[in-house]
Structure 1
Amino acid sequence: MSRDVPTLYEWAGGSDALNRLTQTFYDKVAKDPVVGPVFKAMSPDHPAHVAAFIGEVFGGPKTYSEKFGGHREMVMHHLGKHLTEEQRRRWINLLADAADEVGLPDDPEFRSAFMGYVEWGSRLAKMNSNLGETCDPDTEPMPAWGWGVPGGPYTPPETK
């Protein structure tokens, strides 16, 4: 038996859903005393750029790489920010709250993959933020995130 497994991007609801997510998330960030100061000079386009990045990582169109420069460019945005563990954890919690608020899928498989990426990516961002002012060459590959161990969304057994 074979089935088509959607990408995380498709399962999340595509670019519209990810743009709602990042806009809601950064609205929360702006009001937050822990992470808000990190983003005080944020461009109005920042939420859309992050939505494009997440979309590409989750199997959507290569919009971020084509328009903004790929993974290396995202890493460069974090250099010298000196993010703390408290900020990283707050960032994760606000993003999880925004995901609930905008109605991203809440099935265990999707949320496991989503939060797994958020955990991994936020740890890289924190690490990169404390490295200095330069980054590895342009060959830094764009992450590609999938369903992981669950292997796809839960499909209930057919009832007879």
Structure 2
Amino acid sequence: MDINSKVTVPTLYEWAGGMEKFEAWTDLFYQRVSEDSLMAPVFQSMSADHARHVAHFIAEVFHGPTTYSTEEGSHYEMIHHHLGKHLTEDQRQRWIGLILDTANVVGLPDDPEFRSALVGYLEWGSRLAVINSKAGVVSEQADAPMPTWGWGETGGPYIP
């Protein structure tokens, strides 16, 4: 390889397979959540578009299109969806288990680098959701930037 050549590292969004993959993932996940006795009560009043909004949100966080922030909401609004929900640690852990299992079913990449970034984001986001769901929490960060997530310590996908 030429010493001046640069290897282009795909974004997490690109590596995952694009919007179609994110939408399939969240569609199936929210179908499964609606059938789970611990999780169904949390999501019973969600709009029919909820899964699609979450797909667009996570895709944008993973450096995909800005569909969520330009057409559907902001990070501030996403935080506000969790206010007053009183989420428990058991629910958070079930959510993590279900969403990761669904990632396997829809075929999201299972290489260690991608999964490290995915799990890191899901852990961070789900813990933030639990914190923001507690009674008395008031989020005043109307200008909170959209989070972005990358490859972290691995620097990119594993390519044998």
Task: Answer yes or no: same fold by TM over 0.5.
Answer: yes
State the AA in 1 paired with 2:105.
E
Which residue of 94, 97, 100 corresponds with 1:90? 94
Q: Is 1:144 aligned to residue 148 of structure 2? A: yes
Deviation string, structure 1 residues 91-134 (Cα, Å, up to 9, x no partner): 00000010000000111100110011000100000000115364
Q: Select the residue among 16, 39, 44 that pairs with 2:20.
A: 16
Q: CA deviation at 1:55?
A: 0.4
Structure 2: distance between partners of 1:56 and 1:78: 19
Aligned counterparts of 2:18 and 2:74: Cα–Cα separation in 1 = 19
1:36 aligned to 2:40?
A: yes
Q: Identity percentage over the alignment?
A: 59
Which amino acid in 1 is paired with 2:151?
W
Q: Distance in 2 between matches of 1:97 and 1:154?
A: 21
How many residue pairs get aligned? The number is 156
RMSD of equivalent CA atoms? 1.1
Q: Unaligned stretches of 5+ in structure 1? A: none
Q: Which residue type is aligned with residue 70 of structure 2? A: E
Equivalents in 1 of 2:120, 2:80: separation in Å?
Answer: 22
Moved more, 60-69 or 87-96: 60-69
2:48 and 2:70 mapped to 1: Cα distance?
A: 20
The residue matched to 1:73 in structure 2 has which SS?
helix
- Give the whole-Å Cα distance in 2 for the aligned partners of 1:133 and 1:108: 35
Structure 2 counterparts to residues 99-118 of structure 1, below 5 A: 99-118=103-122
Normalising by structure 2, we get a TM-score of 0.94
Structure 2 unaligned blocks of 5 or more: none
Whichever residue aligns with residue 159 of structure 2, its letter is: T
1:54 maps to which residue? 58
Q: Are residues 1:6 and 2:31 paired?
A: no
Q: Please report the TM-score for the alignment, with normalisation by the length of structure 1.
A: 0.94
In 1, the alpha carbon distance for the partners of 2:106 and 2:67 equals: 22
What CA distance in whole angstroms lies between the structure 1 residues aligned with 2:34 and 2:49? 14
Moved beyond 2 Å, runs of 4+:
131-134
Cα separation, 1, equivalents of 2:145 and 2:117: 20
